[in-house]
Amino acid sequence: MTSPTDTHLAADFVRFAVSAGVLRFGEFKTKAGRLSPYFFNAGLFDDGAKLSRLCEFYAHRLLAHASTIPQGQGLGFDMLFGPAYKGITLAAGLAIELARLGHNLPFAYNRKEAKDHGEGGTLVGAPVRGRVLIVDDVISAGTSVRESITMIRAAGGEPAGVAIALDRQERATHEGQDAPWSAVQYVQREFGLPVVAVATLADLMAVLQGSDDPALQAHAQPVLAYRTRYGV
């Protein structure tokens, strides 16, 4: 269940993403071929101020989640892993923000292609060991998570969970058909990993419906219709 603090954090994040131009409204074709009335592009957190603010949201969401973990187990993870490509910047930025907040953790990431000179291999950064948190922007099909789990375990670590910015809370596609589960639910069920999102589609709806800005209010009905049709 989402706590009041989580709800306020999520709403602040949605408003920040809109103001930064990262969360946009209109008509956008998704990978599944659907026409979505909104689009979230984390690649547009493209300057130091926006990236820093984004990583603050990740850090505070994770620290709130950590408060539910039994005493003595820390944050529930020992290091961060950023899957190429967006996850690389996110893991590095989150490591900086967590260190600023008193939790100095190592991080690593992967290359898309193995390097055959220098240090070689596909993994870069700290040795992958202990409980590893995967950091990415969204989960679309679970492919990136699956690949990350394979790399983490091959290196001697154990996946501890996944942190993302936005959970779209919509049905995934399976063999060309709409599945009864979302990509996030698939990861949770298939791999047994907790997924912590800074905000969800429900949070986005709450912000749109509660906004004093008529321009934002105008997007509430199209987003609600999309959620009704494709939501889980």
Active site residues: 115, 117
Are the beta carbons of 35 and 28 closer than 8 angstroms? yes
> 185-189: which pairs have CB atoms within 8 A and are 24 or more residues apart?
185/232, 186/142, 187/139, 187/142, 187/145, 187/162
Task: Yes or no: say if 24 and 41 are a contact pair by the CB < 8 Å rule.
Answer: yes
C-alpha span between 157 and 132 (Å, rounded):
7
Torsion of CA 179, 182, 184, 185, to 10 degrees: -70
CB neighbour list of residue 196: distance below 8 Å, 6 or more residues apart: 61, 62, 65, 161, 162, 163, 164
* 27 CB-contact burial (10 Å; exposed 0-12 / middle 13-18 / buried 19+): exposed
Q: Which pair of structure tokens corresponds to residue 129?
A: 């060991």
Q: Give the separation between CA 80 and CA 59, rounded to whole angstroms.
A: 12
- 33: number of Cβ within 10 Å: 8
